[in-house]
Amino acid sequence: MELKNKIDELKNYLGQYEKLVQALGLVYWDMRTNLPSKAGESRSKVVEYLSGEGFKLITSDKVSEFITDLKPYVNEMSLIEKRMLEELERNYNETKKIPEEKYVAYVGLCSNSELAWEKAKDAKDFEIFKPYLEKVVEFQKEFIEYWGYDKDKYDTLLDKYELGLTTEKLDNIFLELRDGIIEVLNKIKESKKTLNRDFLYGKFDADKQKELSLYILDKIGFDMEAGRLDVSVHPFTTNFGNKDVRLTTNYHEDEFTSALFSTIHEGGHGIYEQNISDELESTGLQGGASMAIHESQSRFYENILGRSKEFCSYLLSVAKDYFEDFKNVTLDEFYEAMNYVEPSLIRTEADELTYGLHVIIRYEIEKELINGRISVDNLKDLWNKKYKEYLGVEPRDDSEGILQDMHWSDGSFGYFPSYALGNLYGAQMFNTLLKEKPDVMEKVKKGNLTEITKWLNEKVHVHGAIYTPEELIKQITGEGLNPKYFIDYLKNKYYKIYDVE
């Protein structure tokens, strides 16, 4: 066997799979942005069909042959080739454990479930979504039995989004995080300073918001020739290779920040995908290192950068061109409004400080649900109880409570922790960035983000999924994930803003 030929053959095979996945991705994107209301059922069948074909491709005997043929040559392979083979084997083994008809039925269920979630959210009625969610949870539990588990069933799901992550590790991380957040929050409660954010509410024309969003996307380094910005109920990013990366947002005319900061958030995901090396096409590695690393980028752009005083300075100067309302707003006022802390109901709208608590609530609920210690029937009560307990708020209806996120509708259990981990990774990287380039934030004041984006490109983006999250964070910062950086960052930032300690 000529190693090079066999590798080329495998890449060709994976290329086919990638093309199928891209087509499927487009069908999903279209379902969330463009689908006529009567077409849901028939489009779900297309999703089922393509997913079934993808399943066949990734579990075929051909793949098993590639693995057997190539494994003896691992020592002669380049790093990328080695990782490609590892990733293929992991994917093959994991997918192969699920019977095809189960998989296809599950995929069909999920696309219907997503549509039901949208309907339920519109109607603010969890009951519409509940029967779908019950089935999705049943499937997830069944899949865990197929996949197997060690101590905790939920570990099997966590591992899918963050290789090697367990509830044991996460319990510790989240304990430290929660304590940190609560500590800062308590200080803020003692603060005598009151911030004002009234000027962020009013009438903000959707077309102008869109123009501003596009302008800022360009500034932060998102390439509009290799991407789009559209509208959907729940903002998301999807991509078909690195030349077509699609973000969505959702304009609310009664306030200023929601669409803009969700655009910047999705922009962070998008910049990641756009800058993954062309070399990784058809290797299975042309994607992020993990969902948490992905979130580290989106939340870095959204918060660490986007809500920094330096960026606020630039943003305010631009926003004044779009909206009269900001004419007399000072930088301090604007910066403080952008970082107003208030325990609230909606995760995606939460301030940077209390955001982690939203994630921890979901994490705790998912653990219980997946381990069968609670049922979907109890979900809403538990949700409301935890929101009361952790954040002191109560949803007025299901759409601002249990229906606010779409993740459960497509079975993404185990994903939520990625958001909080993303904050941690992001702050840890930021700490290194500032050490390596102490003046970098100065340039942000003038809207110059080139150096930051370039640093992230080189350190994170270009590598795609070549390195595990752990390898990557060590490579960049010299140590493994450490929550201390994020907690220090929060303390530094919010004590100053709220004039405490």
Catalytic center residues:
266
Q: How many CB atoms lie within 10 A of CB 170?
A: 21
Q: Of 39, 80, 374, 393, which one interacts with a copy of itself (CB under 8 A)?
A: 39
Helix, strand, coil percentages in the chain from 3-state DSSP, rounded to 5: 70, 5, 25
Q: Cα(463)–Cα(97) distance, rounded to whole angstroms? A: 29
Residue 374 engages a copy of itself in binding (rule: CB under 8 A):
no
Nearer to a copy of itself, 44 or 482 (CB): 44
Q: Using an 8 Å Cβ cutoff, are 331 and 309 in contact?
A: yes
Residue 36 engages a copy of itself in binding (rule: CB under 8 A):
yes
Q: Using an 8 Å Cβ cutoff, are 275 and 242 in contact?
A: yes
Size, binding site for a copy of itself by CB under 8 A:
35
Structure tokens at 64: 């098993």
Q: Cα(457)–Cα(462) distance, rounded to whole angstroms? A: 6
**Nearest distance from residue 284's CB to a copy of itself, in Å?**
16
- Phi, psi for residue 227 in degrees, rounded to 5: -175, 180
Nearer to a copy of itself, 38 or 373 (CB): 38
Q: Of 1, 2, 5, 42, which one interacts with a copy of itself (CB under 8 A)?
A: 42
Residues 43-82 that bind a copy of itself (CB under 8 A): 43, 45-46, 49-50, 53
102 closest CA partner among 133, 140, 155 = 140
**Nearest distance from residue 52's CB to a copy of itself, in Å?**
9
Find the part of the chain contacting a copy of itself (CB under 8 A) among 13-21, 92-100, 154-162, 342-350: 13-21
Nearer to a copy of itself, 106 or 408 (CB): 106
Structure tokens at 179: 């304590």
Q: Cα(422)–Cα(420) distance, rounded to whole angstroms? A: 5
Find the part of the chain contacting a copy of itself (CB under 8 A) among 35-43, 62-70, 436-444, 486-494: 35-43
Q: Of 3, 9, 20, 253, which one interacts with a copy of itself (CB under 8 A)?
A: 20
**Nearest distance from residue 8's CB to a copy of itself, in Å?**
16
Q: Cα(479)–Cα(427) distance, rounded to whole angstroms? A: 13
Residues 187-246 that bind a copy of itself (CB under 8 A): 223-228, 240-241, 243-245
Q: Cα(342)–Cα(335) distance, rounded to whole angstroms? A: 15
Structure tokens at 206: 């959707």
Question: What does the binding site for a copy of itself look like in residue numbers (CB under 8 A)?
Answer: 15-16, 19-20, 22-24, 26-27, 30, 34-39, 41-43, 45-46, 49-50, 53, 223-228, 240-241, 243-245
